[in-house]
């Protein structure tokens, strides 16, 4: 794992832009994308840059169950607002959280992943070490699946909703096995609330109890952290 420590999320976004640029230069055509507060500075840098993604495909990690794409807290809406409206891709895929049959939707998404090899996968990390919506205990070889969100994730994501009760209780997430197939993984973590998860991911045992710890076994994983998120690294 390569660790890049930066002063703050703004500097992190700039460092991430360099990694996207290098990926484009080596011909990456499929980008795995993430949502949440963390990648906002990265998307802002991509939007300001001269990078063009019109010959590329994006595949997002996850989506809430029960939120239509035009709901302002859906990940489809987030991606449109933060990236796609300024930097369109040839095709952009997200799980459909409104699908009537979630098992069929998961199988459809796995086929999309199988058809497009991800060259660079962007990730954030949950306070409990989750990646995508792969909560603690998720199998390391998992594919796309339906998830019951943990209380900790619901509480953490409540800041984006009017009330905690409005946070969906379920999501569809790409599995850890699929995430690990990417040629390169870039995980960003900012702020003191991520310091424990970052220390466990980088220095703890590789265990399904800390989903992100599997990145220790990826041949090309880069972690960008600010000083607050790096505070518990030895």
Active site residue 40: no
Query: Residue 173 and residue 18: Cα distance in Å, rounded?
Result: 27
Cα–chain-centroid distance for residue 46? 16
Instruction: Please give the torsion angle defined by the CA atoms of residues 106, 112, 115 and 117, in that order, rounded to the nearest 10 degrees.
Output: -90
Residue 124 CB, nearest distance to ligand GLP (Å)? Answer: 2
CB 62 within 8 A of CB 172: yes
Selected catalytic residue, list 62, 63, 105, 226: 62
Q: Which of 20, 31, 53, 133 binds ligand GLP (CB under 6 A)?
A: 133
Residue 34 binds ligand GLP (CB under 6 A): yes
Our answer to whether residue 63 is catalytic in this structure is no
55 is catalytic: no
CB-CB neighbours of 224 under 10 Å: 26
Site string for ligand GLP, 195-224 (x = CB under 6 A): ------------------------------
**Residue number with CB closer to ligand GLP (57 or 171):** 171
Cβ neighbours of 55 (radius 10 Å) = 9
Element (H, E) at 102: helix 102-115
Among 63, 135, 188, 226, the one annotated catalytic: 135
- # binding residues, ligand GLP (CB under 6 A): 14
- Tell whether residue 37 is a contact of ligand GLP (CB under 6 A): yes
For residue 126, state whether it binds ligand GLP (rule: CB under 6 A).
Answer: yes
- Nearest alpha-carbon partner for 172 in 192, 147, 148: 147
Interface positions with ligand GLP (CB under 6 A): 34-38, 61-62, 124-126, 132-133, 153, 157
């Amino acid at each position: 794992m390569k660790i890049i420590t930066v002063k703050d999320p703004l500097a992190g976004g700039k460092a991430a832009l360099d990694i996207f640029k290098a990926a484009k230069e080596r011909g990456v055509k499929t980008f795995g994308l993430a949502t949440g507060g963390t990648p906002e500075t990265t998307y802002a840098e991509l939007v300001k840059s001269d990078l063009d993604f019109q010959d590329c495909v994006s595949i997002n990690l996850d989506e809430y169950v029960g939120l239509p794409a035009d709901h302002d807290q859906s990940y489809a809406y987030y991606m449109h607002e933060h990236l796609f409206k300024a930097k369109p891709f040839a095709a952009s895929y997200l799980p459909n959280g409104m699908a009537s049959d979630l098992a069929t939707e998961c199988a459809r998404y796995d086929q999309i992943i199988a058809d497009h090899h991800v060259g660079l996968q962007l990730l954030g990390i949950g306070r409990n070490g989750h990646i995508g919506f792969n909560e603690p205990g998720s199998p390391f070889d998992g594919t796309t699946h339906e998830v019951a969100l943990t209380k900790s994730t619901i509480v953490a994501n409540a800041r984006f909703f009017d009330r905690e009760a409005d946070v969906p209780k379920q999501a569809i997430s790409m599995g850890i096995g699929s995430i690990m197939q990417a040629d390169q993984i870039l995980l960003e973590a900012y702020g003191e609330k991520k310091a424990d998860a970052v220390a466990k991911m980088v220095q703890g045992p590789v265990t399904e109890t800390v989903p992100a710890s599997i990145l220790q076994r990826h041949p090309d994983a880069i972690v960008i952290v600010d000083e607050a998120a790096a505070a518990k690294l030895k």
